[in-house]
């Protein structure tokens, strides 16, 4: 293994991260980002660099030795439609769009790992560097998988990470099993007969029925789920076609549900349908319910999470590795890859003073870059350790 100039690597990664930060691109629009990533991977001398996988996704492949095993390391590239309030020299040049989730940092860290592994080697097998589009939509991983990711670039296991505001830089945490939740969306449409606000009895307006439905939905978690199951049901919008002096004939209720087990998601859907139908019947309205699954729960494989801890201890130091992180009710598109191969997703500190994710004042902390890059490289070297002594 050739020695790496870490100071130089940090300088490079910081420059890449700030360049990406200044040019944020929304999901499936990451053309510039993808070209940037592909050009760097080619410059590092990877064996294969393929663009346009699942829209704007990029896959790089690096092979060393004769081993048949392959692992994948994944980063996300997309930004958010949030107007930035950061006043740095590298602030977004695209009004209304910013890297508010740190995917600029994730991309720079994985590029850093690719450079380390291409220059330094120290493994036997194949590494697939996956740069996915559209993580925030929960659509980019599926797009890559539907484009034949597993068949074209086969791998046995996959690793990913996310920065974590509030956690000090240089700290690492994850857990075995469910760590991030499923996200389901629902829409309930109530139809009745609108009319004059002064004469409700001449029609059958839908707003009171909609309000009763919103209240009744609150009983799913409190009265239908087991107290030991985690579930969240949030009604986020109530829209009607009424005006100040006219009652609505149409009301739409939109919402979002989170859970960690498919059985809980199924229960929330079933109860949402029962409550919507029962409440609509009680008020004499017609009702239509649609329920969709946007993100699946993220379940860390027990054995591979053990390997992630081992790699993290080498990079962060054992005292900085927490093995029992709290599960989070946020969602992550990485979970889709885990429907095909086992893997592990982890969090690394973005600093205690970091603004929260998806906040207009959020900025990725460049001090975290080297930890992420070294972690990616370390897990590769541990998982694809050469079996014979190197000369
Ligand atoms: Zn995000
Ligand atoms: Zn994110």
Condensed to tens digits (0 to 9), the pLDDT of residues 116-160 reads: 999 999 999 999 999 999 999 899 999 999 999 999 999 999 999
271 is known as an active-site residue:
no
Ligand nearest to the CA of 76: 2
pLDDT bin (cut points 50, 70, 90) of residue 332 is: very high
Are 376 and 109 a contacting pair, CB within 8 Å? yes
Say yes or no to pLDDT of 1 above 90: no
Ligand nearest to the CA of 98: 1
| Greater pLDDT, 61 or 1 | 61
Q: Counting beta carbons within 10 angstroms of the beta carbon of residue 277, is it exposed (0 to 12), middle (13 to 18) or buried (19 or more)?
A: middle
184 is known as an active-site residue:
no
Tell me how far the alpha carbon of residue 135 lies from the centroid of ligand 2, in angstroms: 7
Catalytic residue among 12, 25, 30, 78: 78
pLDDT bin (cut points 50, 70, 90) of residue 4 is: confident
Tell me how far the alpha carbon of residue 88 lies from the centroid of ligand 2, in angstroms: 21
Are 16 and 366 a contacting pair, CB within 8 Å? no
User: Which of 61, 7, 4, 59 lies closest to 37, judged by CA?
Assistant: 59
Ligand nearest to the CA of 77: 2
Mean pLDDT over the full length of the chain: 96
What does the pLDDT read at residue 211? 98
Tell me how far the alpha carbon of residue 314 lies from the centroid of ligand 1, in angstroms: 28
* Each residue's pLDDT tens digit, 195-219: 999 999 999 999 999 999 999 999 9
Are 368 and 171 a contacting pair, CB within 8 Å? no
Tell me how far the alpha carbon of residue 25 lies from the centroid of ligand 1, in angstroms: 13
Q: What does the alpha-carbon distance between residue 165 and residue 35 come to, in Å, rounded to a whole number?
A: 29
Q: What does the alpha-carbon distance between residue 208 and residue 211 come to, in Å, rounded to a whole number?
A: 5
Are 345 and 298 a contacting pair, CB within 8 Å? yes
What does the pLDDT read at residue 387? 79
Tell me how far the alpha carbon of residue 136 lies from the centroid of ligand 1, in angstroms: 5
Q: Tell me how crowded residue 302 is: count the other CB atoms within 10 A of its CB.
A: 11
Say yes or no to pLDDT of 373 above 90: yes
Catalytic residue among 135, 183, 363, 378: 135
Tell me how far the alpha carbon of residue 198 lies from the centroid of ligand 1, in angstroms: 47
What does the pLDDT read at residue 58? 98
């Amino acid at each position: 293994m050739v020695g790496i100039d870490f100071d130089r690597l940090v300088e490079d990664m910081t420059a890449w991260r700030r360049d990406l930060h200044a040019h944020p691109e929304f999901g499936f629009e990451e053309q510039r980002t993808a070209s940037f990533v592909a050009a760097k991977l080619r410059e590092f001398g990877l064996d294969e660099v393929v663009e346009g996988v699942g829209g704007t996704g990029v896959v790089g492949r690096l092979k060393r030795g004769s081993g048949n095993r392959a692992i994948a390391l994944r980063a996300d590239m997309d930004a958010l439609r949030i107007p930035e309030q950061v006043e740095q020299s590298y602030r977004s040049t695209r009004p209304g769009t910013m890297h508010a989730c740190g995917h600029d940092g994730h991309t720079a860290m994985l590029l850093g790992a690719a450079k380390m592994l291409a220059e330094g080697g120290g493994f036997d097998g194949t590494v697939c560097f996956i740069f996915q589009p559209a993580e925030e939509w929960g659509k980019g991983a599926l797009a890559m998988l539907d484009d034949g990711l597993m068949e074209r670039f086969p791998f046995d296991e996959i690793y990913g990470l996310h920065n974590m505001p509030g956690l000090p830089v240089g700290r690492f945490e994850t857990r075995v099993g469910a760590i991030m939740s499923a996200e389901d969306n629902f829409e309930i449409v109530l139809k009745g007969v609108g009319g004059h606000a002064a004469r409700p009895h001449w029609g059958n307006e839908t707003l009171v029925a909609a309000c009763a439905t919103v209240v009744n939905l609150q009983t799913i978690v409190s009265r239908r789920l087991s107290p030991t199951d985690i579930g969240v049901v949030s009604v986020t919008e109530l829209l009607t076609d009424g005006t100040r002096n006219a009652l609505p004939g149409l009301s739409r209720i939109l919402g979002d549900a989170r859970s960690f087990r498919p059985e809980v998601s199924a229960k929330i859907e079933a109860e949402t349908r029962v409550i919507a139908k029962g409440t609509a019947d009680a008020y004499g309205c017609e009702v239509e319910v649609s329920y969709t699954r946007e993100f699946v729960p993220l379940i860390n494989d027990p054995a591979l999470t053990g390997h992630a801890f081992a790699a993290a201890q080498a990079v962060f130091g054992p005292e900085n590795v927490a093995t029992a992180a709290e599960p989070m009710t946020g969602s992550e598109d990485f979970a889709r890859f885990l429907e095909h191969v086992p893997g592990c997703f982890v969090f690394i500190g973005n600093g205690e003073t970091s603004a929260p994710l998806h906040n207009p004042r959020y900025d990725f902390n460049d001090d975290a870059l080297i930890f992420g890059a070294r972690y990616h490289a370390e897990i590769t070297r541990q998982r694809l350790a050469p079996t014979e002594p190197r000369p």
